[in-house]
Structures are given as structure tokens and as C-alpha cells.
Amino acid sequence: MSSTMHEQEQEQEHAQVLSATPLDTKPPKPTYPSIPLTNPTSFAAMIALSKLSATKFVNASPVIAGGARLLGGQARFQMVAYGGQVVAQAAWAAAQMVGSEWVMHSMTTNFTAPGVVGLPFTYHVRTATDGSSYSLRIVEATQPQTMADLGVTAATVTCRASVSFKRRRNNNTSPFDCQAPPSPAVQQTLARLHAGASPHPAALVPVSFDSLQALLATRYAADEPLYTPSIAGVEAVLLPLRGHGERGELPSPLCAHFPFAQRSPRRVTATVYTAAGDASEIVGANLGVCAHLNAVDGITLWDAAALLGVPLSRVRAMCTLGMSVVVHNAWGLRIADGESKRWFVQEGWVERYADERVVFCTRVWNDKGVCVLSSWQEGVLKVAEGVLKVAKGARL
């Protein structure tokens, strides 16, 4: 057979293949999966650790799903770990390395890789400093070798945290204490909590959800306080997103565009919460702090999206990059109050949104009106093009 005849036959075969092949051969994009909401009966059980060595711990409870990520060239989704559980377990591991006279006062966390559901987390703790008043512990959370298409290898560090402890003062008091006042929304909420009226959970019927999407859809549209035990390790009353600004009403979070220039300087969300489980299980200042670390992560980035006017369906990607928490009064954060549990109010606001990243700040108030914790969270927030029309230099 001559080379010319061979080339002609190859061209004919190639033409037949082309005629039988659709023009668009890209596989259909998989549907974002439903994110199941695990409802642990006890926060203490949710962050339980097993000791592997003097400086190494592993989670003794299942890893909770917090979202999903496309894997394998965007062919399928993998459930990724809920960051609040990882942060709380890292802090609790650090607390095992100090004496009972040391109380956690600050924590800075960076997420370096996505953790996945179905694999254990190992927490490696080392001592950075031990002073007469302050001690610092560094924690690295790792997971064993996971799926290659996730881009992580054996013992990949998924989270790094620095946890600082302060030695308790006599009577745990300071001669000087001051705080900025809460927003009007929080002031009203605290007053109604004292009166036992809504949003006090005793005045509400709890509503459970099977998926994160169902909870968020209800939360976005709710006009009344929503009491739910479905957020991992937390019992929460989510106050309506409308009507909780410092001035005027919030525009509907379902609107297509949200021009910042027409907004008042500060809009806030308000959430009433406590830890899941019996009061007898959540004793001690450091365990109480861990409960608040978990609650602070919660659904705060979704609240940030709502305050920015981003519809749930228009969020393309979301995850926490880093978080810093300062505890102002660890004893004021105690969950247990005898046989009952104390409730707290968290207010949150968007400080900045740029470069597909959002900064969300929170303050936590106890039932006596004392600001006991402040946090600063940076997260990825990718939205569909055209959703946000941000006026240059506009204020949040």
C-alpha cells in the first residue's frame, strides 16, 4: 500500500470519528451536593480527643461536613470538614498541655489545605513559650494521605494555630474594665432575653434541618427568630436578617444588586446561642472558650454573604482562610450556670469585601451585657459575576 493511499484512509477514518463526535464533549458539571447537617447531642463529645502521646492527639468523634469541593477535574464532589470543629479541637488539644491555672485568652488560626470527611485529624502540639503570666502553644492539624486529585499528600497540614493562655489572677478581676456599647439590635435582644420573651429559646419551638441548604434558605427568608439545634455543636436562635441594622431596615438579602453607597455605616446580624449538650458536660473555662470558638465559625460567612446582598444560589465558593479570636473574660464565657446553660448574643458585621475575600467581625455578649469575646475572620467568597455592584470607596 502506497503512503498516499494510507494517508487517504486515515483522513477518511478521522472524518468518520469527527462526524460521530458531538461538538461539545465536555462532561456536564455535577450538581452541588446537599450538605448534611450533623447534630451532635453534645458539644463536648463533638470535640473529644484521644491522646496518642504527650504532644499528639487525634479526634475521637466523626469529622463533620461543612461544605463540598470539586475533585478530579471537576468531575465529582468531596465533602470537606467543618472548620469550627477543627478550630475547637485544636484549641482543646492545646489546653491539654497547660495546667488548670492557665486560661485561654487568644487564638489565631490559618487554614492551609481543605480537610476531608472520613479521615481522622491528628493534632500536634508544641510549646512555644512558657512565661510567668502568659504561655503560647502551637498546634498543627494534619490528615493522613487522601485522594490525589484533592492535591494533598501524606500528613498534610490542614490548619495551623497559635493558642495563648494567661495565668488566672486572684478573683479573676481587673481594677479597670471598659467596653464599647452593643448595637441597638443586641441591646434589644439582651433586654428580651432577660424578660424570657422571644428570641429566648424557651419561648420558641425548635426547627431541625437535614441539610445546610435548607437551613440557609429558611434563614435568608425568615421574618421571625429561627430556633434550630442543627448547627454543629450549637443551639442557636437566628434573628431575621431584615431590620437589624443600626439605622433603618436592611434591604432584602435576595436582591440582585446591593449598592454599598446607599447603606448606613453599619449593618449587623444578631444570633442567640449556647453549646449543645447538658451543662454538666461543659465545665471549666477552657472548654467553654472552645464552645464559643466553634460557634463563632458557625454560619458567619453565609451571614456575610447575606449582608452583602448575595443570594444563596449565586455563591460560587466559600471557605475560611484565617480567624483571630480574643477572649476578654473567659469566666464570663462559661456555658454552665449550675444545672442550666447560659445564652449568649453574637453580633456580626462585614468590615471589608475585596479581591473575592470578605472580612467578617463579631462580638459576643453574655447575659449580663458584658462583651466577652471578639473575632476577626477572613474568608473566600466568590460570587456570580454581576451580582455585586460596589461603589468605589463606599463604606459598609
Q: What is the mean pLDDT of each run of 10 residues along the chain (396 residues)?
A: 53 49 55 78 91 95 86 70 94 95 95 88 96 96 67 71 90 75 84 84 90 89 89 91 44 35 58 91 91 91 86 84 94 86 92 92 92 95 68 42
Residue range 131-177, pLDDT digits in tens: 999 999 999 999 986 554 445 455 688 899 999 999 987 655 667 88
Predicted TM-score (pTM) of this structure: 0.83
Whether 206 is in a domain gets the answer: yes
Residue range 348-386, pLDDT digits in tens: 999 999 999 999 999 999 988 899 999 999 999 988 776
Whether 176 is in a domain gets the answer: no
Whether 260 is in a domain gets the answer: yes
Number of C-beta neighbours around residue 373 at 10 A: 24
- pLDDT the model gives residue 247: 35
Q: Which helix (H) or strand (E) holds 163?
A: strand 156-167
- pLDDT the model gives residue 263: 39
Structure-block grid coordinates of residue 200: 429566648
Q: How many helices (H) and strands (E) does the chain have?
A: 7, 17
Provide the b/e sequence for 62-77 (b: ≥16 CB within 10 Å).
ebbbbbbeebeeeeeb
Mode of pairing for the β-strands spanning 269-275 and 344-354: antiparallel
SS3 at position 293: helix
Can you tell me the distance from the alpha carbon of 351 to that of 308, in angstroms, rounded to the nearest whole number? Answer: 11
Query: How is residue 365 annotated by DSSP?
Result: E
Cα dist from 50 to 61, 88, 96, 151, 327, whole Å = 9, 15, 11, 28, 26
- pLDDT the model gives residue 31: 72
Whether 42 is in a domain gets the answer: yes
- pLDDT the model gives residue 18: 42
Can you tell me the distance from the alpha carbon of 225 to that of 206, in angstroms, rounded to the nearest whole number? Answer: 10
Beta strands in 211-337 (DSSP E): 226-228, 234-238, 269-275, 315-327, 336-337
- pLDDT the model gives residue 4: 54
- pLDDT the model gives residue 173: 62
Contact at 8 Å (CB) between 239 and 227? no
Cα dist from 126 to 149, 276, 327, whole Å = 31, 30, 22
Whether 7 is in a domain gets the answer: no
Domain that residue 370 falls in: 28-171+181-383
Number of domains in the chain: 1
Whether 6 is in a domain gets the answer: no
Whether 395 is in a domain gets the answer: no
Residues in the chain: 396
The CATH number for 252's domain is: 2.40.160.210
- pLDDT the model gives residue 74: 56
Averaged pLDDT score across all residues of the chain: 81
Whether 205 is in a domain gets the answer: yes
Amino acid at 169: R
- pLDDT the model gives residue 160: 96
Q: Crossing angle, helix 285-297 and helix 83-95, to 10 degrees?
A: 160
- pLDDT the model gives residue 155: 64
- pLDDT the model gives residue 29: 64
- pLDDT the model gives residue 390: 45
- pLDDT the model gives residue 293: 95
Can you tell me the distance from the alpha carbon of 84 to that of 291, in angstroms, rounded to the nearest whole number? Answer: 9
